[in-house]
Amino acid sequence: MSKITITDLQKMKQDGQKITAITAYDATFAKLFDDEGAQVLLIGDSLGMVLQGGDDTLAVSMDEMVYHTRCVVRGASKALVVTDMPFMSYATPEQTYQNAARLMAAGARMVKMEGGDWLCESIRHLTRNGVPVCGHLGLTPQSVHVFGGFKVQGRDEFHAQEIYRQALELQAAGIQLLVLECVPVALAERISKALRIPVIGIGAGPATDGQILVMHDAFGITSGYVPKFTKNFLAETGDMRAAIRLYVQQVSEGTFPGPEHCFN
Ligand code: KIV
Ligand code: NA
Protein backbone atom coordinates (compact mmCIF):
# COMPACT_ATOMS: atom_id res chain seq x y z
CA MET A 1 0.00 0.00 0.00
CA SER A 2 1.66 3.19 -1.08
CA LYS A 3 1.90 6.10 1.31
CA ILE A 4 0.14 9.39 0.69
CA THR A 5 2.62 12.12 -0.18
CA ILE A 6 2.39 15.87 -0.37
CA THR A 7 2.14 15.43 -4.16
CA ASP A 8 -1.09 13.45 -3.68
CA LEU A 9 -2.52 16.20 -1.46
CA GLN A 10 -1.48 18.81 -4.00
CA LYS A 11 -3.31 16.84 -6.70
CA MET A 12 -6.40 16.57 -4.49
CA LYS A 13 -6.47 20.35 -4.24
CA GLN A 14 -6.16 20.72 -8.00
CA ASP A 15 -8.94 18.19 -8.57
CA GLY A 16 -11.19 19.85 -5.98
CA GLN A 17 -11.19 16.73 -3.77
CA LYS A 18 -11.37 17.56 -0.05
CA ILE A 19 -8.61 16.35 2.26
CA THR A 20 -9.50 14.77 5.61
CA ALA A 21 -7.06 15.19 8.49
CA ILE A 22 -7.41 14.28 12.16
CA THR A 23 -5.12 14.30 15.16
CA ALA A 24 -3.74 11.02 16.50
CA TYR A 25 -1.48 10.33 19.43
CA ASP A 26 -1.15 6.54 19.51
CA ALA A 27 -0.85 3.54 17.20
CA THR A 28 -4.35 2.10 17.69
CA PHE A 29 -6.25 5.24 16.75
CA ALA A 30 -3.73 6.05 14.03
CA LYS A 31 -4.47 2.68 12.43
CA LEU A 32 -8.22 3.14 12.73
CA PHE A 33 -8.10 6.63 11.13
CA ASP A 34 -5.72 5.40 8.45
CA ASP A 35 -7.98 2.40 7.69
CA GLU A 36 -10.99 4.69 7.34
CA GLY A 37 -9.27 6.91 4.79
CA ALA A 38 -7.97 9.98 6.62
CA GLN A 39 -5.18 11.31 4.41
CA VAL A 40 -3.28 13.23 7.09
CA LEU A 41 -2.58 12.31 10.73
CA LEU A 42 -1.35 15.14 12.94
CA ILE A 43 0.44 14.51 16.20
CA GLY A 44 -0.86 17.78 17.58
CA ASP A 45 0.50 19.50 20.64
CA SER A 46 -3.20 19.55 21.55
CA LEU A 47 -2.09 16.41 23.38
CA GLY A 48 -1.13 18.80 26.19
CA MET A 49 -4.86 19.37 26.65
CA VAL A 50 -6.63 16.18 25.57
CA LEU A 51 -4.07 13.67 26.90
CA GLN A 52 -2.37 15.58 29.69
CA GLY A 53 -5.32 17.64 30.93
CA GLY A 54 -3.63 21.04 30.60
CA ASP A 55 -5.50 24.32 30.06
CA ASP A 56 -3.34 25.07 27.02
CA THR A 57 -0.59 23.49 24.89
CA LEU A 58 2.38 25.31 26.41
CA ALA A 59 3.77 22.60 28.69
CA VAL A 60 4.29 20.01 25.95
CA SER A 61 7.92 18.93 25.49
CA MET A 62 9.94 17.79 22.50
CA ASP A 63 10.46 14.39 24.17
CA GLU A 64 6.68 13.95 24.37
CA MET A 65 6.20 14.89 20.72
CA VAL A 66 8.92 12.42 19.72
CA TYR A 67 7.31 9.66 21.80
CA HIS A 68 3.81 10.17 20.35
CA THR A 69 5.22 10.46 16.83
CA ARG A 70 6.86 7.04 17.22
CA CYS A 71 3.53 5.61 18.43
CA VAL A 72 1.46 7.06 15.58
CA VAL A 73 3.95 6.11 12.88
CA ARG A 74 3.61 2.44 13.87
CA GLY A 75 -0.15 2.59 13.24
CA ALA A 76 -0.12 4.64 10.04
CA SER A 77 0.40 2.68 6.84
CA LYS A 78 -0.93 5.20 4.28
CA ALA A 79 -1.60 8.59 5.82
CA LEU A 80 0.89 11.45 5.77
CA VAL A 81 2.18 11.90 9.32
CA VAL A 82 2.72 15.50 10.46
CA THR A 83 4.05 16.47 13.90
CA ASP A 84 3.70 19.78 15.72
CA MET A 85 6.80 21.58 16.91
CA PRO A 86 5.84 22.34 20.53
CA PHE A 87 5.95 25.72 22.31
CA MET A 88 9.43 27.29 22.33
CA SER A 89 11.02 24.46 20.34
CA TYR A 90 11.50 26.76 17.32
CA ALA A 91 12.32 30.09 18.93
CA THR A 92 15.70 30.34 17.15
CA PRO A 93 16.62 28.94 13.72
CA GLU A 94 19.34 26.71 15.18
CA GLN A 95 16.98 25.19 17.75
CA THR A 96 14.34 24.74 15.03
CA TYR A 97 16.67 22.64 12.86
CA GLN A 98 17.74 20.37 15.69
CA ASN A 99 14.22 19.78 16.95
CA ALA A 100 12.72 19.27 13.48
CA ALA A 101 15.43 16.70 12.79
CA ARG A 102 14.41 14.76 15.91
CA LEU A 103 10.76 14.63 14.78
CA MET A 104 11.74 13.48 11.29
CA ALA A 105 14.00 10.81 12.77
CA ALA A 106 11.03 9.64 14.87
CA GLY A 107 9.07 9.10 11.65
CA ALA A 108 7.25 12.38 10.99
CA ARG A 109 7.04 13.25 7.29
CA MET A 110 6.40 16.95 7.87
CA VAL A 111 6.63 19.34 10.83
CA LYS A 112 4.16 22.08 11.73
CA MET A 113 4.99 25.46 13.20
CA GLU A 114 2.62 28.21 14.36
CA GLY A 115 3.23 31.71 13.11
CA GLY A 116 3.91 34.14 10.31
CA ASP A 117 6.76 35.71 8.40
CA TRP A 118 9.22 35.56 11.31
CA LEU A 119 9.45 31.82 10.57
CA CYS A 120 10.48 32.28 6.92
CA GLU A 121 14.23 31.87 7.49
CA SER A 122 13.67 28.62 9.39
CA ILE A 123 11.20 27.36 6.76
CA ARG A 124 13.70 27.99 3.95
CA HIS A 125 16.46 26.23 5.83
CA LEU A 126 14.33 23.23 6.76
CA THR A 127 12.97 22.65 3.26
CA ARG A 128 16.47 22.99 1.75
CA ASN A 129 17.60 20.31 4.18
CA GLY A 130 14.78 17.90 3.42
CA VAL A 131 12.24 18.76 6.10
CA PRO A 132 8.77 19.60 4.69
CA VAL A 133 6.93 22.26 6.66
CA CYS A 134 3.25 22.89 7.42
CA GLY A 135 2.32 26.41 8.50
CA HIS A 136 -0.43 27.33 10.99
CA LEU A 137 -2.18 30.72 11.02
CA GLY A 138 -5.27 32.27 12.57
CA LEU A 139 -5.87 31.08 16.12
CA THR A 140 -2.43 29.70 16.93
CA PRO A 141 -2.95 28.11 20.37
CA GLN A 142 0.65 28.54 21.51
CA SER A 143 -0.08 32.30 21.51
CA VAL A 144 -3.29 31.97 23.55
CA HIS A 145 -1.92 34.26 26.26
CA VAL A 146 -1.00 36.90 23.71
CA PHE A 147 -4.53 36.74 22.26
CA GLY A 148 -6.09 36.79 25.75
CA GLY A 149 -7.99 33.55 25.18
CA PHE A 150 -9.02 31.11 22.45
CA LYS A 151 -10.63 33.65 20.13
CA VAL A 152 -11.56 33.80 16.47
CA GLN A 153 -8.84 35.67 14.54
CA GLY A 154 -9.06 37.97 11.52
CA ARG A 155 -12.52 39.33 12.23
CA ASP A 156 -11.73 42.91 11.19
CA GLU A 157 -10.39 43.92 7.78
CA PHE A 158 -6.97 44.92 9.09
CA HIS A 159 -6.25 41.58 10.80
CA ALA A 160 -7.80 39.61 7.96
CA GLN A 161 -5.44 41.32 5.52
CA GLU A 162 -2.52 40.57 7.85
CA ILE A 163 -3.34 36.83 7.97
CA TYR A 164 -3.75 36.79 4.18
CA ARG A 165 -0.34 38.43 3.70
CA GLN A 166 1.33 36.03 6.15
CA ALA A 167 -0.13 33.04 4.29
CA LEU A 168 1.41 34.24 1.01
CA GLU A 169 4.77 34.87 2.69
CA LEU A 170 4.84 31.42 4.28
CA GLN A 171 4.05 29.85 0.91
CA ALA A 172 6.85 31.85 -0.72
CA ALA A 173 9.24 30.65 2.00
CA GLY A 174 8.39 27.04 1.17
CA ILE A 175 5.59 25.64 3.34
CA GLN A 176 3.76 22.84 1.53
CA LEU A 177 0.61 22.72 3.64
CA LEU A 178 -1.19 25.32 5.78
CA VAL A 179 -3.53 24.91 8.74
CA LEU A 180 -5.96 27.78 9.18
CA GLU A 181 -7.67 27.82 12.57
CA CYS A 182 -10.73 29.79 13.70
CA VAL A 183 -11.02 32.48 11.06
CA PRO A 184 -14.12 33.80 9.27
CA VAL A 185 -15.36 31.74 6.33
CA ALA A 186 -14.72 34.51 3.77
CA LEU A 187 -11.08 34.94 4.81
CA ALA A 188 -10.41 31.19 4.67
CA GLU A 189 -11.96 31.05 1.22
CA ARG A 190 -9.86 33.96 -0.02
CA ILE A 191 -6.64 32.37 1.29
CA SER A 192 -7.48 28.88 -0.04
CA LYS A 193 -8.08 30.31 -3.51
CA ALA A 194 -4.93 32.44 -3.47
CA LEU A 195 -2.55 29.67 -2.39
CA ARG A 196 -1.15 26.93 -4.60
CA ILE A 197 -0.63 24.66 -1.59
CA PRO A 198 -3.49 22.83 0.18
CA VAL A 199 -5.13 24.68 3.08
CA ILE A 200 -6.58 22.57 5.90
CA GLY A 201 -9.17 24.34 8.03
CA ILE A 202 -10.47 23.96 11.56
CA GLY A 203 -13.22 26.41 12.42
CA ALA A 204 -12.49 28.03 9.06
CA GLY A 205 -15.57 27.04 7.09
CA PRO A 206 -16.22 24.76 4.12
CA ALA A 207 -14.11 26.49 1.44
CA THR A 208 -10.68 25.26 2.56
CA ASP A 209 -9.07 22.33 0.72
CA GLY A 210 -9.54 20.05 3.70
CA GLN A 211 -10.57 19.81 7.35
CA ILE A 212 -8.89 18.75 10.56
CA LEU A 213 -10.37 17.94 13.96
CA VAL A 214 -8.90 16.96 17.30
CA MET A 215 -9.90 13.29 17.57
CA HIS A 216 -11.48 13.72 21.01
CA ASP A 217 -13.73 16.43 19.57
CA ALA A 218 -14.80 14.16 16.68
CA PHE A 219 -15.85 11.59 19.30
CA GLY A 220 -17.55 14.21 21.46
CA ILE A 221 -15.57 13.18 24.54
CA THR A 222 -13.79 16.47 25.18
CA SER A 223 -14.54 17.66 28.69
CA GLY A 224 -15.31 21.25 29.56
CA TYR A 225 -15.72 23.86 26.83
CA VAL A 226 -16.62 22.39 23.44
CA PRO A 227 -15.82 24.68 20.52
CA LYS A 228 -18.58 25.55 18.06
CA PHE A 229 -16.66 24.24 15.03
CA THR A 230 -16.48 20.63 16.23
CA LYS A 231 -18.96 17.85 15.66
CA ASN A 232 -19.66 14.69 17.61
CA PHE A 233 -19.63 12.00 14.94
CA LEU A 234 -19.95 9.25 17.55
CA ALA A 235 -23.41 10.47 18.58
CA GLU A 236 -24.83 9.65 15.14
CA THR A 237 -23.06 6.35 14.72
CA GLY A 238 -22.52 4.82 18.16
CA ASP A 239 -19.28 3.25 17.02
CA MET A 240 -15.77 4.74 16.77
CA ARG A 241 -14.91 3.25 13.40
CA ALA A 242 -18.24 4.30 11.89
CA ALA A 243 -17.82 7.77 13.42
CA ILE A 244 -14.54 8.32 11.60
CA ARG A 245 -15.96 6.85 8.41
CA LEU A 246 -18.77 9.42 8.64
CA TYR A 247 -16.30 12.24 9.31
CA VAL A 248 -14.22 11.29 6.25
CA GLN A 249 -17.39 10.95 4.17
CA GLN A 250 -18.83 14.31 5.23
CA VAL A 251 -15.55 16.14 4.63
CA SER A 252 -15.14 14.46 1.22
CA GLU A 253 -18.64 15.35 0.09
CA GLY A 254 -18.48 18.82 1.63
CA THR A 255 -21.33 18.43 4.13
CA PHE A 256 -19.00 19.04 7.10
CA PRO A 257 -18.53 21.74 8.25
CA GLY A 258 -22.10 23.03 8.08
CA PRO A 259 -23.16 26.65 8.66
CA GLU A 260 -23.59 25.94 12.39
CA HIS A 261 -19.84 25.19 12.67
CA CYS A 262 -18.68 28.42 11.02
CA PHE A 263 -17.66 31.95 11.99
CA ASN A 264 -18.80 34.83 9.82
O1 KIV B 1 -2.50 20.54 18.04
C2 KIV B 1 -3.43 20.33 17.25
O3 KIV B 1 -4.24 19.41 17.40
C4 KIV B 1 -3.55 21.22 16.09
C5 KIV B 1 -4.76 21.07 15.20
C6 KIV B 1 -5.99 21.45 15.91
C7 KIV B 1 -4.62 21.80 13.93
O8 KIV B 1 -2.68 22.02 15.88
NA1 NA C 1 -1.12 22.24 17.52
User: What ipTM, to 2 d.p.?
Assistant: 0.99
Residue 1 placed within a domain:
no
Which residue ranges have their beta carbon within 6 Å of ligand 1? Answer: 23, 42, 44-46, 84, 179, 181, 202, 212, 214
Residue 109 placed within a domain:
yes
pLDDT of residue 152: 96
181 is catalytic: yes
Tens of pLDDT along the chain (264 residues) come to 699 999 999 999 999 999 999 999 999 999 999 999 999 999 999 999 999 999 999 999 999 999 999 999 999 999 999 999 999 999 999 999 999 999 999 999 999 999 999 999 999 999 999 999 999 999 999 999 999 999 999 999 999 999 999 999 999 999 999 999 999 999 999 999 999 999 999 999 999 999 999 999 999 998 888 899 999 999 999 999 999 999 999 999 999 999 999 999
Whether 209 has a binding-site annotation, put simply, is no
pLDDT of residue 226: 86
Residue 28 placed within a domain:
yes
Task: Kindly report the protein residue whose alpha carbon is nearest to atom 1 of ligand 1.
Answer: 44
pLDDT of residue 87: 98
> How far is ligand 1, taken at its centre, from the CA of residue 85, in Å?
11
Task: Kindly report the protein residue whose alpha carbon is nearest to atom 4 of ligand 1.
Answer: 44
Residue 210 placed within a domain:
yes
Choice among 36, 181, 189, 236 that is catalytic: 181
> How far is ligand 2, taken at its centre, from the CA of residue 86, in Å?
8
Whether 239 has a binding-site annotation, put simply, is no
- Ligand closest to the CA atom of residue 201: 1
HEC profile of 1-53 = CCCCCHHHHHHHHHHCCCEEEEECCCHHHHHHHHHCCCCEEEECCCHHHHCCC
Contacts of 6 (CB under 8 A, 6+ apart): 80, 110, 132, 176, 177
CATH of the domain at 94: 3.20.20.60
20, 60, 72, 84, best to mutate for ligand 1 pocket (most atoms within 8 Å of CB): 84
- Ligand closest to the CA atom of residue 25: 1
Q: Which domain holds residue 69?
A: 6-261
> How far is ligand 2, taken at its centre, from the CA of residue 141, in Å?
7
Residue 172 placed within a domain:
yes
- Number of domains present in the structure of the chain: 1
- Ligand closest to the CA atom of residue 222: 1
pLDDT of residue 223: 82
Residue 101 placed within a domain:
yes
